[in-house]
Amino acid sequence: MDLINAIIVLLNYTVIPALTYGSQLALGAIFVTLIYGILRFANFATGDMMSFGTMFAVLLTYYFQSLGISFGILPTALLTIPFAIFMMILYMLTIDKFVFSYYRVKKSPPVQLAMVSVGVMFVTQAIIRIIIGPSDRRFLDGEKFILKATEFKEMTGLNEGLTLKSTQAITIVVTIIVVSIMFWFLNKTKTGTSMRAYSDNEDLALLSGIDPKKVVLITWVIAGILATIGGILYGLDKSYRPFVYFNNMLPIFAAAIVGGIGNPYGAFLGGYVIAFAEIFLTYAYKRFFIYLLPESLEPNSLIQLLSTDYKFAISFSILVIVLLFRPSGIFEGKKI
Amino acid sequence: MKRYSNVIAAYSIMIILIILVGVFQSWSIALTILNYCLISAVMTMGANIQWGYAGLINFGIMGYTALGGLAVVLVSVAPVGEAWKLGGLNMLACLGIIAGMILSIRQVLKKIEKSKKRNYLVAAIIVIGVLLLRFISAPAIESIESVEPAKTGFLGGLGMPVLFSWIVGGIFAGGLAYIVGKIALGLRADYLAIATLLIAEIIVSIIKHEEWLARGVKNVIGLKRPAPYEIDLQTSPWFINLVEKFHSSKLKLISSISERQDVLKQLVIDASSVYVKLCFAGLFLTVVIILLIITQKALYSPWGRKMRAIRDNEEAASAMGKNVVKEHLLIFILGSAVVGIAGAMMVTNDGLFTPGSYRPMRYTFVIWVMVIVGGTGNNFGAILGGFVVWFLWVQAAPMALFFINLLTAHLPETNEIKIHLINSAPYFRFLLIGIGLLVIMRYRPRGILPEKIIKQ
């Protein structure tokens, strides 16, 4: 019984939150990696682009609520996803046309494109703050919990409760759906294959008649979908605040690089690596050990490897270690 | 002379702009802007040494700035005797353990060949070291932080003059750059950017959360100043006399004595803040000029030519027998040290150390915009970039407010869009800086004052 209690404690406080957070990071990391692999630059506007898509979801959620439209027990924000994605893609394509395409045609070095993306970051941040302001917003409605701690305790008769928030379930399910469709698209369809070819060797791809404009367009479309969904899921789970989204760029970058930048599978797994490391290393294991160890050995301290203040620092340290020993990332190999 | 005509023109415009602020807003604001411009200029020079001379992209400016600021606290604050008594010995022991760990790891890496055994040995040293550190430091940190937590709760500094801390700030930042450079300089340009950005975040989070070191997010206030305090000035007779002399014609016009005293008092208060800021401006200007002379000499020396050669073609320079790795590391350290000095200057100017305020937006990306806008590889350009961008950063909100009012003049005061726009005026600075960067990168990719290569 104690063993089951201990496992429930771990599940409740580490595994489920880490899976959720990891999914959100993974979507962002695939976005970063796609842009890096196909358009060949590190996009410093990542966090703000995700924020931009989410902003529309937030505004539309408020609008739908005022109209009285709701999605039953699910959050209304899910209904707004298609519109938000549309606006996001529109914005990305506009930016690409007026900013990035010039440097792409000129074949500028990646560093220059990265600097340009810093400019885009400033502009995007300004637009977001002017439209919606910098304050914290919650836009979750519908049922909050799928499984409450008390219900679980009654059901199983255990000491420890297991909670499952609806946002956690939605995040994991939606991520699985989106990512599997994307991988199917990249691997099985002709357009996906041409994108991979373009990423591997641009000149060869052009020679074999692949239309670069189409590849770029599709890349931004996929990027827009990933960015918006990732942003909305994060916002539903925590809350929407432009500054936090900008900061999220850093663990997302860490995830993309840890997984091997340019490799979507790696980015996907990298997100979970970062999330699990952050949560496992900062969790206080006291309660877990109280169940497992006999009373005489019970721990006095929190048994916490690192204080939660260092959450971000952990993901960055992992990144530094990976860069030191395997600069091409943990899951190198197949490029998109 | 003709060669420098555009430099002179650009700087004159900048100075006129600052004077205009002085005339139309107030001299105190103008001098605040000038001081921050000078500090930004130092930061930009540091970044320019790395990016302009050597093509190294360092997005970790925030970390070095914060470290420079930390130096001010550690050098100039008076030591907290009780905290030292309670936990100082343990913290020193921790330092010793860290040094021991590093030395023993180095020894292991040197003595034993690359093998699984070596990896395990290194891992064992690290694990034992960390456990030992926690065991020794935990009670010490607790007791240090419990010493008057509202006021101190940290070890304090060395109680030395604050100007000395500027040098220490440079040394700290250079030391960090040595470690970071050893780790990250082998990476490709955009990886380096990301790695340095993240390492800077680690540094800032350590400074934020290790409260025994510099009070963390509780901030250290009331730092020493290399300039006189306003309160002292307002009571010292020579200063009052000086102000009286300066404004004598204006004061003569006032007939009643009590009224004249009141006006004089107000003038003295204004003048004291201006005087203090002038003192700071003088100090900062000295630093900028010294750095400018050194960097200018370096840029046009054989060493500078070597750096440019390495920047423009690494392989060729390497083939010519230049040690690219060593030079990159050197320039990374030098540039970061300059940024560290700037960080120390900024904290000295503010008189307080607020680790929570170090954010990548303000301390990394804005500085980079300054470098790109001003002119990469040109020291005059870098300084100008610091001035222009900081000026815009500060003055963007009033400018935006002016234009919003102009454009929405026909709308009634209660119009929601108008109110919303007026409330969001501060955010137009991001828009202005972003668009400025994009325009410069597109139409003048080498900055306002591009790099000049003088053939010798």
Contacts of A44 in chain B (CB under 8 A): 365
Say whether B441 and A102 touch across the interface (CB within 8 A): no
Q: Is A215 left (phi over 0), alpha (psi -120 to 50) or beta?
A: alpha
Q: How confident is the model at residue B455 (pLDDT cuts 50, 70, 90)?
A: low
CB atoms within 10 A of CB B322: 16
Q: Determine contact, residues A133/B79, Cβ cutoff 8 Å.
A: no
Average pLDDT over residues B157-171: 90
- Output the pLDDT for position A332: 64
Residue B77 clears pLDDT 60, i.e. is over it? yes
Tell me, which fold does domain A2-325 have in CATH?
Answer: ABC transporter involved in vitamin B12 uptake, BtuC (1.10.3470)
Average pLDDT over residues B93-114: 87
User: DSSP string spanning A143-196?
Assistant: --EEE-HHHHHHHH--SS---EEHHHHHHHHHHHHHHHHHHHHHHHSHHHHHHH
**Residue of chain A whose Cα is closest to the Cα of B419:** A130
Residue B192 vs residues A110, A319, B148, B171: alpha-carbon distances, Å: 12, 12, 42, 22
Q: Has residue B128 been placed in a domain?
A: yes
Cα(B79)–Cα(B99) distance, rounded to whole angstroms?
23
Q: How confident is the model at residue B91 (pLDDT cuts 50, 70, 90)?
A: confident
Residue A312 vs residues A270, A319, A323, B26, B449: alpha-carbon distances, Å: 15, 11, 17, 42, 39
- Output the pLDDT for position B414: 80
Contacts of A126 in chain B (CB under 8 A): 427-432, 434
Rank A103-112, B42-51, B108-117, B225-234 by mean pLDDT and report only the highest.
B42-51
B149 lies in the same domain as B278? no
B200 φ/ψ angles, rounded to the nearest 5 degrees: -60, -40
User: Which positions ≥6 away from A16 have C-beta within 8 Å?
Assistant: A164, A168
Q: Determine contact, residues B388/B44, Cβ cutoff 8 Å.
A: no
- Output the pLDDT for position A70: 82
Average pLDDT over residues B327-335: 93
Q: Determine contact, residues A226/A34, Cβ cutoff 8 Å.
A: yes
Cα(B65)–Cα(B63) distance, rounded to whole angstroms?
5
Residue B97 vs residues A285, B124, B156, B438: alpha-carbon distances, Å: 27, 14, 21, 49
Q: Which two tokens stand for residue B171?
A: 């040394």
B214 lies in the same domain as B354? yes
Helix B61-76 vs helix B189-209: angle between axes, to the nearest 10 degrees? 30
Which sign does the torsion angle of CA A255, A261, A265, A266 carry? negative
- Output the pLDDT for position B1: 56
Q: List residues of chain A with CB under 8 Å from any CB of chain B.
A: 41-42, 44, 99, 102, 109-112, 114-116, 118-127, 129-130, 133-134, 246, 250, 253-254, 257, 261, 307, 309-310, 312-313, 316-317, 319-320, 323-324, 327
- Output the pLDDT for position A336: 39
Low-confidence ranges of chain A (pLDDT < 70): 298-302, 332-336
Residue B2 clears pLDDT 70, i.e. is over it? no
Type of residue at B80 = V
Say whether B368 and A115 touch across the interface (CB within 8 A): yes
First to last CA, chain A: 47
B349 lies in the same domain as B412? yes
Q: Has residue B454 been placed in a domain?
A: no
- Choose one of B155, B183, B216: the last residue of a domain: B155
Taking the CA of residue B385 as centre, how many other CA atoms within 13 Å lie in the half-sphere pointing to its CB?
33
Q: Has residue B55 been placed in a domain?
A: yes
Domain of B51, CATH number, reads 1.10.3470
B374 lies in the same domain as B393? yes
Residue A82 vs residues A85, A125, A229, A237: alpha-carbon distances, Å: 5, 22, 9, 19
CB atoms within 10 A of CB B179: 10
**Which member of A42, A119, A316 has the closest CB to residue B193?**
A42
Q: Which of A91, A115, A306 is the best mutation test for B, with the most CBs of B within 10 A?
A: A115
DSSP state of B3: G
In angstroms, the separation between the Cα of residue B17 and the nearest Cα of chain A is: 24
- Output the pLDDT for position B456: 53
- Output the pLDDT for position B454: 65
Residue B340 clears pLDDT 90, i.e. is over it? yes
**Residue of chain A whose Cα is closest to the Cα of B364:** A118
B289 lies in the same domain as B311? yes
- Choose one of B108, B129, B155: the last residue of a domain: B155
- Choose one of B127, B155, B183: the last residue of a domain: B155
Cα(B47)–Cα(B56) distance, rounded to whole angstroms?
9
Q: Determine contact, residues B165/B29, Cβ cutoff 8 Å.
A: no
In DSSP terms, A164 is beta-bridged to: A147
Say whether B190 and A310 touch across the interface (CB within 8 A): no
Say whether A323 and B428 touch across the interface (CB within 8 A): no
Residue-wise pLDDT tens digits, B252-293? 777 778 888 888 888 888 888 889 999 999 999 999 999 999
User: DSSP string spanning B71-107?
Assistant: HHHHHHSPP-HHHIIIIIHHHHHHHHHHHHHHHHHHH
Residue B117 clears pLDDT 60, i.e. is over it? yes
DSSP state of B2: G
Q: Determine contact, residues A25/A47, Cβ cutoff 8 Å.
A: no
Q: Has residue B56 been placed in a domain?
A: yes
Cα(B3)–Cα(A321) distance, rounded to whole angstroms?
49
B124 lies in the same domain as B263? no
Cα(A236)–Cα(A233) distance, rounded to whole angstroms?
5
Type of residue at B178 = Y
Helix B162-184 vs helix B189-209: angle between axes, to the nearest 10 degrees? 130
* CA-derived radius of gyration, chain B: 26
Task: Write down the pTM of the prediction.
Answer: 0.90
H-assigned helices in B151-220: 162-184, 189-209, 211-214
| Residue B349 CA, distance from chain mean position | 11
Cα(A44)–Cα(A37) distance, rounded to whole angstroms?
15
User: A172 versus B84: which is more confidently predicted?
Assistant: A172
Average pLDDT over residues B35-43: 94
Q: Has residue B448 been placed in a domain?
A: no
Q: Has residue B88 been placed in a domain?
A: yes
DSSP state of B149: T
User: DSSP string spanning B306-357?
Assistant: HHHHHHH-HHHHHHTT--HHHHHHHHHHHHHHHHHHHHHHHHHHHT-B-GGG
Say whether A320 and B191 touch across the interface (CB within 8 A): no
- Output the pLDDT for position A334: 42
Number of structural domains in chain B: 2
Q: Has residue B449 been placed in a domain?
A: no
Domain boundaries, chain A: 2-325
Cα(A150)–Cα(B449) distance, rounded to whole angstroms?
68
- Output the pLDDT for position B118: 83
- Output the pLDDT for position B39: 95
Residue-wise pLDDT tens digits, B57-72? 899 999 999 999 999 9
Type of residue at B48 = N
Q: Has residue B335 been placed in a domain?
A: yes
Contacts of B361 in chain A (CB under 8 A): 125, 246
Contacts of A28 in chain B (CB under 8 A): none
Q: Which of A101, A122, A245, A249 is the best mutation test for B, with the most CBs of B within 10 A?
A: A122
Q: Which of A41, A244, A316 is the best mutation test for B, with the most CBs of B within 10 A?
A: A316
**% of chain B at pLDDT higher than 70:** 98
**Which member of A116, A120, A313 has the closest CB to residue B202?**
A313
Domain that holds residue B85: 80-155
Q: How many helices (H) and strands (E) does chain B have?
A: 22, 0
Residue-wise pLDDT tens digits, A151-166? 888 887 777 778 888 8
**Which member of A125, A317, A327 has the closest CB to residue B202?**
A317
Q: Determine contact, residues A21/A165, Cβ cutoff 8 Å.
A: no
